[in-house]
Amino acid sequence: MRIAISSLILAAGLATAAHAQEPAATAQATPAPAAQDPATAAQPAPATTPAPAAEAPAPAQSPAQSPAQSPAQPPPQLPTTGDGAVLISVIQNVCVPAVRGQNLGDLAKAQGFKQNRRDQTWAKPLGGHKAYQVVLYPQGSNQDVCFGEIRFAHGQEEPIVSALNIWSFVQQPPLDPTANYTQPVDPDGLKRVRRSWEHVSSNQSIGLNISTVRKPDDTPVNKAYDLATFQYQERKF
């Protein structure tokens, strides 16, 4: 009888032990996470885009630095051909020395002028039409003035005026522009466009002027040519 009871107690203890071990077995039966695919595991991390290289800073400009200046323009050149060149030659080679005391007739003759004995004027052809001329008038008692006129092709006064403007500019000292205006009707009934240049110092005045002359309706005074008068003067104070 004692043996039978002992057997029952042993059996019950074994059953209890088996039941206590069941959760551990269950826990052990939980599958482990699947192993990572070797290819995936070996795959490198995506490359990161490299940061752009820092640009070198622009060289700092000095506050006093100024932009490069354009080269100075060369002085205007005197014309060597045309009516303007002829008139400049007359002023330089006849008028200037004449107002400084030399004989006008001798100077004019040396420059190819011929004298009209009737009115004592001196004339030199400009070229082209025979009516185109430079005419010099006698100085008379006013020895510091050289006065004349130029007869030229219709409508060609601008090259002449431009030549005198350049000549005035390149003189030493330069002659400054002092007048440029139109007189619609002068006392003699003619229209004049006057332009002049002058240098004035404390003891001297040097002046040049030219006036184109036309009728009030702006037609030429002569059907063969246009007309302008000119005057060069040097005065001492």
Residue-level pLDDT at 18: 42
Strand 121-125 versus strand 176-183 pairing type: unpaired
* Beta bridge partner(s), residue 213: 192, 227
Residue-level pLDDT at 31: 47
User: Euclidean distance between the first and final Cα of the chain, in Å?
Assistant: 172
Mutual angle of helices 157-170 and 82-90, in 10-degree steps: 50
Asked whether residue 5 is domain-assigned, the answer is no
| Distinct helix (H) and strand (E) counts, the chain | 6, 8
- Domain of 142 in residue numbering reads as 82-236
Asked whether residue 110 is domain-assigned, the answer is yes
Q: What is the C-alpha separation between 189 and 219, in angstroms, rounded?
A: 13
Residues 208, 214, 218, 219: what is their CA dihedral angle, to the nearest 10 degrees? -140
Q: What is the C-alpha separation between 148 and 159, in angstroms, rounded?
A: 18
Residue 25 has pLDDT above 60, yes or no: no
Asked whether residue 42 is domain-assigned, the answer is no
Q: What is the mean pLDDT of residues 47-57?
A: 49
SS3 (DSSP) at 168: helix
pTM passes above 0.75: no
Residue-level pLDDT at 68: 65
For 9-18, 66-75, 87-96, which range has the lowest pLDDT when averaged over its residues? 9-18
Asked whether residue 201 is domain-assigned, the answer is yes
Q: What is the C-alpha separation between 201 and 171, in angstroms, rounded?
A: 14
- Mind listing the pLDDT tens digit for each residue in 166-225? 999 999 999 999 999 999 999 999 999 999 999 999 999 999 999 999 999 999 999 999
Q: What is the mean pLDDT of residues 59-86?
A: 76
Task: Report yes or no: 218 and 236 within 8 Å, Cβ to Cβ.
Answer: no
Asked whether residue 77 is domain-assigned, the answer is no
Q: How confident is the model at residue 40 (pLDDT cuts 50, 70, 90)?
A: very low
Asked whether residue 26 is domain-assigned, the answer is no
- Mind listing the pLDDT tens digit for each residue in 56-68? 555 555 555 555 6
Asked whether residue 19 is domain-assigned, the answer is no
- Mind listing the pLDDT tens digit for each residue in 113-129? 999 999 999 999 998 89
Asked whether residue 22 is domain-assigned, the answer is no
Q: What is the C-alpha separation between 20 and 42, in angstroms, rounded?
A: 43
- DSSP character string of 75-122: PPPPP-SHHHHHHHHHIIIIIHHHHTTS-HHHHHHHTT-EEETTTTEE
Please state whether the peptide bond connecting residue 220 to the residue before it is cis, i.e. omega within 30 degrees of 0. no
Q: What is the mean pLDDT of residues 143-161?
A: 97
Round the average pLDDT of the chain to a whole number and report it.
Answer: 82
Q: What is the C-alpha separation between 74 and 79, in angstroms, rounded?
A: 15
Number of separate domains in the chain: 1
Structure tokens at 133: 């001329």
Number of C-beta neighbours around residue 99 at 10 A:
20
